[in-house]
Amino acid sequence: MTDKTIQRIRKFKEDRDWDQFHSPANLAKSISIEANELLECFQWSDTDYDMKAVKEELADVLVYCRHMLDRLGLDEDEIVNAKMDKNEVKYPVDKAKGTYIEPERLRAMTNAEWKAALARRLTEIFGKNVFTEAELTKEFYVELRVGCSEFFQTENDAFDQDLFWSEGLRNWLLGDRSK
């Protein structure tokens, strides 16, 4: 955000004497309310939304965030970079790329626990306990790659379906039904 825009936001608030209403708690509530109004733009469709409404609600979120930064005397670059430092440690590329699974959760699991969790996840995804190759989705492959990384060590660290299917894990997943 440019200094000119920041000054415009501040002037708008000052001209209306609204600073008296901008306690940290009120600003946090307003950020949440506006974020929910932004979410409402996507309530019935992930792809069919009104871009004008999205821009307006996103702008409201940003304006309230600017007010919160000012109220608390925070520098956005400083706090964002501090948080990014933590995120880069918490979500290393080699563990988090292409997945939403918490790396800490995966590192703490034993192989037996991981296999049980994977079996539960597959049942959740497909609603049954018997799987064919065609039913195993990309989401499954991403979760499997992160959780069973020993099956996915390739030169470019990319998923290798042939390696996956050749290592016997397929037979475990399919309950030896594919033989």
Range of the domain at 80: 3-90
Give pTM, 2 decimals. Answer: 0.59
Overall domain count for the chain: 2
Tens place of pLDDT per residue across the chain (179 aa): 999 999 999 999 999 999 999 999 999 999 999 999 999 999 999 899 999 999 999 999 999 999 999 999 999 999 999 999 988 877 777 766 776 666 556 555 555 555 555 666 666 655 655 454 444 555 555 555 555 554 444 444 444 444 444 444 444 444 443 33
d(CA 30, CA 178) in angstroms, rounded, equals 56
Q: Are 34 and 56 in contact (CB under 8 A)?
A: no
Question: In terms of domains, do 85 and 101 share one?
Answer: no
Residue where the block lists tokens 């995804």: 125
Structure tokens at 86: 């933590």
Residue 158 exposure: Cα atoms within 13 Å on the Cβ side: 4
The pLDDT value given to residue 111 = 52
- In this structure, the answer to whether residues 81 and 107 fall within a common structural domain is no
Q: Give the domain CATH number at 86.
A: 1.10.287.1080
Do 105 and 163 share a domain, yes or no?
Answer: yes
pLDDT of residue 74: 97
